[in-house]
């Protein structure tokens, strides 16, 4: 498209026309042209035109489809705030670590891309990474599941969940004594905090002296659908929630969800004071707990996170209920 035509679209704030212009430039593989259009839109924003969405759309398409040097250049802290996902995850979904690494300057984004590529199976050299950004190992442990990863497209994104098992209705007895102030409850709530802070969600967590069924009963319900799951299945669910932005919130990404889930396990097991814990130790204590998925059975819908966990040795249990809707 001729420069004068692009300028006209910007000055008239023709959003539909500018989206088509971005699509055409992508089709022509004119990445320099997309960068120029993005810069003109940014300049127009400073003059009061509402074109920030076009600038972000241009960067999203660059992160997704451009050659590594162009994709890496848009991966920086705070970029793509209103995109379908964080641009470091978008770029890492379609480029390898060796392709992107030479072109990402921002230390935090660089580390997040490294973790994302490691989750996707890349071998990543950690020698020049700021490992304090995410204080869990790059390499996945044998006790971890294979995490479903985000899939990004030109006009949409998909964030697959692990398959949920069938549940059975269970009658619940009266709750045991709550022990309150639990770091385990706080850590479970943190997994879905974006749903509450940035979207339309709500969340509650309970900690009781008793069983997982007592913890679920403490929400005031007398029956629920429940199933026992493995530690790996519970972990996959926690990571999915921790990565998610819910209906309207900003997605945090799988590596952040994974780190949040590790922290939650440490808090539930009472070893958070030893953080960062040895992966072997975390796997052992996680496997010693009993894990359950549940729901109240009343058309939960939307984004939902219902987990219960029981410590059979200390006689303690926790349950969390978090939901979000469009």
The per-residue pLDDT for range 104-149, each reduced to its tens digit, is 999 999 999 999 999 999 999 888 899 899 999 999 999 999 999 9
pLDDT score recorded for residue 181: 63
3-state helix, strand, coil split of the chain in percent (to 5) is 45, 15, 40
Residues 209 and 69 both lie in one domain: no
- Mean pLDDT, rounded, for 53-68: 97
Give the mean pLDDT of 297-319: 89
| pLDDT given at position 176 | 65
Percent of the chain with pLDDT over 90: 86
Q: What is the percent of the chain where pLDDT is above 70? A: 96
The residue with greater pLDDT, 301 or 36, is 36
Per-residue pLDDT for 5 more than 90?
A: no
Whether 110 and 170 map to the same domain: the answer is no
One domain, residues 113 and 179? no
Residues 117 and 30 in one domain: yes
Is residue 147 domain-shared with residue 30, that is, in the same domain?
Answer: yes
Domain boundary among 157, 183, 202: 157
In this prediction, residue 169 carries a pLDDT of: 95
For position 59, what pLDDT does the model report?
Answer: 97
With cut-offs at 50, 70 and 90, classify the pLDDT of residue 175.
Answer: low
Same domain, 148 and 190: no
Residue 217 and residue 248 in one domain: yes
Per residue in 253-264, pLDDT (tens digit) is 999 999 999 999
What does pLDDT average to over the chain? 93
Question: Does 117 lie in the same domain as 44?
Answer: yes
pTM of the predicted model as reported, rounded to 2 decimal places: 0.94
**Per-residue pLDDT for 268 more than 70?**
yes
- 178-195 pLDDT tens trace: 766 689 999 999 999 999
| Residue pointed to by tokens 């088509």 | 20
Mean pLDDT for the stretch of residues 285-311: 91
Q: In this predicted structure, which of 127-131, 175-179, 238-242 has the lowest mean pLDDT?
A: 175-179
- DSSP E strands in the chain: the ranges are 151-152, 157-158, 168-171, 202-209, 223-229, 290-295, 303-311, 316-324
What is the distance between the alpha carbons of residues 9 and 17, in angstroms, rounded to a whole number?
Answer: 6
Flag whether pLDDT at 298 surpasses 80. Answer: no
Which domain-ending residue is among 126, 157, 188? 157
Quick check: 128 and 155 in contact, CB under 8 A?
no
Q: Which single residue is written with the structure tokens 């990402």?
A: 104
* Mean pLDDT value of segment 70-90: 92
Residues 54 and 140 in one domain: yes
Q: Residue 173 — very low, low, confident or very high, per pLDDT cuts 50/70/90?
A: confident
Query: Is 224 or 1 the better-scoring residue by pLDDT?
Result: 224
79-100: average pLDDT: 94
For residue 220, the domain's CATH number is: 3.40.1460
| Tokens (6 digits) for 101 | 């690494």
pLDDT at 56 over 80: yes
Out of 135, 157, 179, pick the residue that ends a domain: 157
Tokens, residue 281: 């130790």
Q: In terms of residue numbers, what domain contains 77?
A: 3-157
Same domain, 222 and 144: no
The reply to whether 174 and 142 lie within a common domain is no
Sign, Cα dihedral of 151, 156, 80, 69: positive
Number of folded domains in the chain? Answer: 2
pLDDT at 2 over 90: no
> Domain check: are 97 and 153 in the same one?
yes
> Which of helix, strand or coil describes residue 306?
strand
What number is the average pLDDT over the span 84-90?
A: 96
The pLDDT of residue 34 is above 90: yes
């Amino acid at each position: 498209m001729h420069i004068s035509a692009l300028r006209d679209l910007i000055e008239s704030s023709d959003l539909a026309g500018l989206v088509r212009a971005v699509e055409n430039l992508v089709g022509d593989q004119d990445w320099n042209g997309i960068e120029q259009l993005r810069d003109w839109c940014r300049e127009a924003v400073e003059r009061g035109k509402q074109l920030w969405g076009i600038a972000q759309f241009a960067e999203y398409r660059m992160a997704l489809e451009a050659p590594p040097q162009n994709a890496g250049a848009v991966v920086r802290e705070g970029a793509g705030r209103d995109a379908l996902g964080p641009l470091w995850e978008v770029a890492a979904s379609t480029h390898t670590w060796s392709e992107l690494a030479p072109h990402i300057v921002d230390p935090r984004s660089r580390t997040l891309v490294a973790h994302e590529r490691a989750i996707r199976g890349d071998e990543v050299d950690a020698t020049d990474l700021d490992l304090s950004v995410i204080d869990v190992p790059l390499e996945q442990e044998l006790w971890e599941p294979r995490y479903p990863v985000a899939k990004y497209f030109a006009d949409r994104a998909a964030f697959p969940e692990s398959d949920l098992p069938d549940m059975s209705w269970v009658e619940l007895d009266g709750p045991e004594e709550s022990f309150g102030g639990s770091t385990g409850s706080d850590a479970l709530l943190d997994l879905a905090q974006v749903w509450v802070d940035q979207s339309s969600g709500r969340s509650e967590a309970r900690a009781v002296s008793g069983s997982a069924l007592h913890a679920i009963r403490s929400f005031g319900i007398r029956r629920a659908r429940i199933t026992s799951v493995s530690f790996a299945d519970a972990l996959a669910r926690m990571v999915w929630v921790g990565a998610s932005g819910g209906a309207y919130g900003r997605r945090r990404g799988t590596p952040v969800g994974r780190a949040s889930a590790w922290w939650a396990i440490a808090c539930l097991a009472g070893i958070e004071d030893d953080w960062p814990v040895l992966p072997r130790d975390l796997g052992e204590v996680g496997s010693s707990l009993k894990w359950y998925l549940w729901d109240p059975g009343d058309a939960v819908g939307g984004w939902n996170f219902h987990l219960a966990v029981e410590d059979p040795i200390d006689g303690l249990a926790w349950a969390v209920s978090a939901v979000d809707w469009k």
